[in-house]
Structure 1
């Protein structure tokens, strides 16, 4: 069971911003930018292109309003979606507010926020949805 499956099962807390029967979206606790969100299918599949087709198409539709909410809360040129998938063996995408190409480099220094700051970021995104 991956850490994402444990979050989905509510065994591990997360700063959730959206959820439905197929997906969950929550703040990355090791963000490269303020407003960095992970979108995760609830089925545990390692590689994004091994995810069933219906999930792949629905993933974009689920992520779209979240990306718009992130843009409203954290003004940026755009919200980029990247898939790396090496850090957790559970398919997922990163939604990252972006102004420069280096903003989506997951090798960048991770930002650190207090619990209160994470909650404020979470609530701001939820309010913008």
Structure 2
């Protein structure tokens, strides 16, 4: 059965997409830990990050790096925190979070933002990431 991320990749479920190429997609987490919390996902469904082929893994990390650079430009923060948990959705993915302190990486404190705010954040990040992808 296709994961929720595969359904997003296939356009069956809408998302706040910030970037995409032929092999990857990046979109805002709908329950962000911090505003701008972005998920970077390979389009090819693989349950566990370390089950990706070496080529897929490197390509995903390089795509995530470009997204992180744009994210840092678009969102006020000191750094972009990176984590891989992979327990909620069985589809390899990387979390990118704009952070100012280590406490900002607390996944026990997720939020929901109004749709208008998510759209605004998405547009800022999308514009900044587009510069990195050129």
Q: What band does the TM-score fall into relative to the shorter chain?
A: over 0.9
Aligned-partner SS, 1:87: coil
Number of paired residues? Answer: 128
Please report the TM-score for the alignment, with normalisation by the length of structure 1. 0.95
Alignment partner of 1:13: what SS?
coil
Q: Tell me which residue corresponds to 2:100.
A: 99
Residue matched to 2:10: 9
In structure 2, the residue matched to 1:113 is 113
SS of residue in 2 equivalent to 1:5: helix
Unaligned runs of 5+ in 1: none
Report the counterpart of residue 22 of structure 1 in structure 2: 23
**CA displacement at 1:104 relative to structure 2:** 1.5
Could you report, residue by residue, the CA deviation over 1:54-88 in whole angstroms, capped at 9, with x for unpaired residues? Answer: 11101121111211111112121110111000010
Match of 1:46, SS? coil
TM-score normalised per structure 2: 0.91
Aligned-pair distance for 1:101? 1.4
**Structure 2 residues without counterparts, runs of 5 or longer:** 130-134
Aligned partners of 2:123, 2:25: CA distance in 1, in Å? 16
**CA deviation map 1:77-100 (0-9, x unaligned):** 110111000010101000001111
Report the Cα distance in structure 2 between the residues aligned to 1:53 and 1:82, rounded to whole angstroms: 19
Give the aligned CA root-mean-square deviation in angstroms: 1.0
Residue 127 of structure 1 is matched in structure 2 by: 127
Partner of 1:43: 44
Secondary structure of residue in 2 paired with 1:123: helix
**Deviation at residue 105 of structure 1 after TM alignment:** 2.1
